[in-house]
Amino acid sequence: MSKSKEDEEKAGDASQLNSGGNPSATETDLMSIEDHRNNFAIEAPVFAAVTQAEGWAGGKKIPEAEFLSAVKKFLKGSAGGQ
């Protein structure tokens, strides 16, 4: 049985709800922050500081671009945070 156009539109709406309304961030694009850390060999002190600065809890799943942006922002920041 094939899906109707209406069924496909409903499925698309549901996928946006699961990704916070962002259709480009699907479940397959998301990885835990720990997996990103391992994939990019981020050192423990940097990882700890980034997660604290971003308010991320362990196991949080985010897109790669968001993770890398946060790490880059932290590494380019000043010691005073300004």
Model pTM score: 0.64
Per-residue pLDDT of the chain (82 residues; tens, 9 = 90+): 444 454 444 444 443 334 444 545 566 689 999 999 999 999 999 999 999 999 999 999 999 999 999 999 999 988 776 5
- Round to the nearest angstrom and report the end-to-end CA distance of the chain: 59
Kindly give the interhelix angle for 64-76 and 44-54, rounded to the nearest 10 degrees. Answer: 100
